[in-house]
Amino acid sequence: VKEFILLGLSDKTELQVLFFILFFLAYAMVLLGNLLIIVTVRSDPKLSSPMYFLLCNLSFIDICCTTVTSPRMLVDLFSQRKAIAFESCIAQLFFLHFVGASEMFLLTVMAYDRYTAICKPLHYTAIMSRQVCWVLVSACWAGGFLHSIIQTLLTIQLPFCGPNTIDNYFCDVPPVIRLACTDIYATEWLMASNSGLISLVCFLVLVTSYTFILVTIRVRFTEEHWKALSTCASHVMVVTLFFVPCIFIYLRPFSTFPSDKHICVIYTVFSPVMNPLIYTLRNNEVKTSMWRLWKRCR
């Protein structure tokens, strides 16, 4: 097999026009919103806390994550033959899992940051120092790379000699390995244990940290805790949109289930859109900094 044929989301012309408008607006919001967050955090010394440092990195990862799939999908919506070369398909698969796993680890680190700020406020600056933040972010990228390289190596060692039609709008592990000309039982379980368990473990760690936060707030509730709880509620919305579809897709055998391309839209398109909306509209400090940045640029 030299190339794969992507079936996309739909073959109906009227739906393709609608999808193009929706996904183009979503992609534009992801780029503009997350770039605005990065510029605002980098330009305002008041936003130098670990939470905003991690938020800045999350915005960068969201830009990378949606850029892996959205531009190609927008072009393919008006292409008669949605072909992608084998090498390009594998590259897309690699970078998708690279940034996707990195985001999972980073969201877990952000939950730990909120847990430390609320449950151990007196030790927060010592625990979450700038050096510690850099180490944690580097570990997130390293973990994402390790996860992705394992998935990619397990995929490219499979023989592809027959069908080459992928029932999706991008190359991902489940639809690609279904096309292999061999028994993939062992391979798919290795991949499911890799991607699925990472998703599940990170999600359970997140739920545990938020449980501790809620218990702490219930015991000693102050105005600062209410502010922190509001931030955590926003975080939970992003986490739910991102983790639940990933757990559903990857924590199971791939070959026995139909395509999940419509579910993939949630974590590849709409989850990155929610990040700038939630962290700007629900955060007064960020909105104030953006207003000051706007007045300086006028």
Domain of 55: which CATH number?
1.20.1070.10
pLDDT of amino acid 281: 66
Residue 127 near residue 116 (C-beta atoms within 8 A): yes
Closest CA to 62 of 225, 260, 279, 285: 279
Amino acid at position 108, single letter:
T
Residue 106 near residue 61 (C-beta atoms within 8 A): yes
pLDDT of amino acid 174: 86
pLDDT of amino acid 292: 79
- The neighbour count for residue 116, using CB atoms within 10 Å, is 18
Collect the ranges in the chain with pLDDT lower than 50.
Answer: none
Half-sphere exposure of 52 (CA within 13 A, CB side): 21
Closest CA to 234 of 201, 272, 283: 283
Burial string for 8-18 (b: 16+ CB within 10 Å, else e) reads bbeeeeeebee
- Could you tell me what percentage of the chain is helix, strand and coil, using 3-state DSSP and rounding each to the nearest 5? 80, 5, 20
pTM for this model (two decimals):
0.89
The 3-state DSSP class for residue 3 equals strand
280 lies in which domain range? 3-297
Indicate the pairing of strand 83-85 with strand 3-6.
Answer: antiparallel
pLDDT of amino acid 146: 95
240-261 tens-digit pLDDT:
888 888 888 888 776 556 667 7
- The neighbour count for residue 131, using CB atoms within 10 Å, is 8
Q: Total domain count for the chain?
A: 1
